[in-house]
Amino acid sequence: MIRAWRTVRVLPPLLLLPALLLTGCGTEKASEKVSAGTGPGGGTSTAAADPAELASRAKALGIAPELVYVTESPGYTLARQSVGVSGDDGFSAAYWSQRAGTQIELRVDRITFTAGTCAQQPVGGSGASDGRTKCTRDGDDWYRTAGTWHGYAVPKQGYTILLSGSGVPRETLRKAALAVHRPSAAELDGLLPPAPAPGATSSQPVRRGDLPPNGDGAPDNSVPCEGC
């Protein structure tokens, strides 16, 4: 079933990643747990994450467990502030390269690409659609371009994995697409915050351990009160 593209609720934070990571420099060490080299071929454990633990953590954020994936790319590190929901119950994250000043966006959503619908879907943060997206086959995947953005769509059964970037070499994106995999136990630890404690209610917010103790905190949106 072909579904229309959904609004990605975490897209604004992704576009602000460079500023976020610069202001949080030195405070977001936990994000280094999931970075280039932690997947297949990396030096850390690749034992599969416990399915029940993955499901518990993902559902606490409104993400379908089967849509949680990670990737790896030399020089790129997961920005944990970017992890969130895409569409209704999809998954979204971004990997940032401080040296290159670019990011790779990873999204997993319940959409299906065909030769007739691929051009109607935007590419990453380009916003391009309605035929402005150009699609070409690359093996079983789709290589897609729109303006300065380009990336890969990797079809799965009932959903699609999307990797995209602006200013990122095509070969880098291709290798990142090939490296996409389900998170290991070590990767899950640095990817999703802990699940709510047993007995927690909806009125008890989930404590996100991925947020740094200082820097990158929520902005002060209070409005000064005159004459209070």
Helices (H), 61-192: 170-178, 185-191
By C-alpha distance, which of 151, 147, 122 is closest to 6?
122
70 falls within a domain: yes
Residue 209 forms part of a structural domain: no
Asked if 132 and 146 count as a contact pair (C-beta separation under 8 A), the reply is yes
In terms of Cα–Cα distance, which of 153, 150, 187, 165 is closest to 68?
187
Whether residue 226 is contained in a domain is answered as no
Give me the number of domains the chain comprises. Answer: 1
Q: What is the pLDDT along the chain (228 residues), one digit of tens a residue?
A: 434 444 344 444 454 454 444 344 333 333 333 343 343 333 344 788 999 999 999 999 999 999 999 999 999 999 999 999 999 999 999 999 999 999 999 999 999 888 888 888 899 988 776 668 999 999 999 999 999 999 999 999 999 999 999 999 999 999 999 999 999 999 999 999 988 777 655 444 545 445 555 555 555 555 555 555
The pLDDT of residue 34: 38
Q: Is residue 215 part of a domain?
A: no
Residue 120, in any domain of the structure: yes
Please check whether residue 212 lies inside any domain of the structure: no
Residue 144 lies in a domain: yes
Domain that holds residue 97: 11-191
Dihedral in degrees, nearest 10, Cα atoms 85, 52, 203, 199: 180
pLDDT score of 196: 77
pLDDT value, residue 219: 52
The span from the CA of 97 to the CA of 73, in Å, is 9
According to DSSP, the β-strands at 141-146 and 149-155 are: antiparallel
pLDDT value at residue 101: 95
Residue 48 lies in a domain: yes
In the prediction, which pLDDT does 19 show? 43
Provide the β-strand partners of residue 193: none
